[in-house]
Amino acid sequence: MKSYLAAAIQMTSVPDVQKNLAQAEEFIDLAVNQGAQLVGLPENFAFMGEEDEKLAQANSIAQVTEKFLKTMAQRYQVTILGGGFPVPTDSGKVYNTALLVDSGGQELSRYRKVHLFDVNVPDGNTYRESSTVMAGTELPEICGTEKLGNIGLSVCYDVRFPELYRDLSRQGAHVLFVPAAFTAFTGKDHWQVLLQARAIENTCYVIAPAQTGINYARRQTHGHAMIIDPWGVILADAGEKPGVAIAEINPGRIEQVRRQMPSLQHRVFI
């Protein structure tokens, strides 16, 4: 594994798949032209709208999105994470699925979001992800790659559950993906500090693609797609507008931090 550039894409996805995928391609192109070899798209990048609309279109969204990710990876010769899109189940609900695809268009890793966002947010909005989404039942496994290191997947609300990331670090993760559609209300207080905590406690890079702005109706997302180093330093922050955060993933930095703070070697319980 040598140093390389990674990109965390920030979007304002809406209830229009073709519009969203056109926006995603624009930012993939921008990231690749700046040298990125690993590109992450946020949660709900292909569709962000009312839950009943998502269910009605789920089969189509899943097929079109998976084809898009594989086509983009091959066309631009990069590894791409699709940070979360609906994949139908036999139950009538969907899995919120993150998919990692290599530069040949082959699936590397697939993760079904385990922790579902069922929360009454103090700003007056209520979220019941479990009303349409079936929770995954398996912890993610790291994806070992020769050029990009060991990559661990998660999605959004997972970031509040450190045991998931501890398990990924136990497996040898170097890079942790946290694609998200974090609410504006919770994001202003918790987004950055949670991402930094996951980076610091696991001495890993964190790549966090994000949704931003008004997506539909009253749904407003926080933005600030970030890349954070193993010491917790914010290397890139996309701010509040759609765009791309790009930074270097340096294996030497991981080794340096782990020598300076060998906390992973001192684990007792996991």
Catalytic center residues: 43, 113, 156
Distances from the Cα of 196 to the Cαs of 200, 206, 207, in angstroms?
A: 6, 8, 11
The SS3 assignment for 130 reads helix
Helix count (H) and strand count (E) of the chain? Answer: 5, 16
Q: Regarding beta strands 36-41 and 149-152, do their DSSP bridges make them parallel or antiparallel, or are they unpaired?
A: unpaired
b/e 164-198 (16+ beta carbons within 10 angstroms → b): bbbbbbeeebbbbbbbbbbbbebbeebbbebbbbb
Cβ atoms < 10 Å from Cβ of 52: 10
Element (H, E) at 127: strand 126-128
Distances (CA, A) of 149 to 135, 173, 249, 264, 268: 28, 8, 9, 17, 25
- Report the alpha-carbon distance of residue 245 to residue 254 in Å, rounded: 20
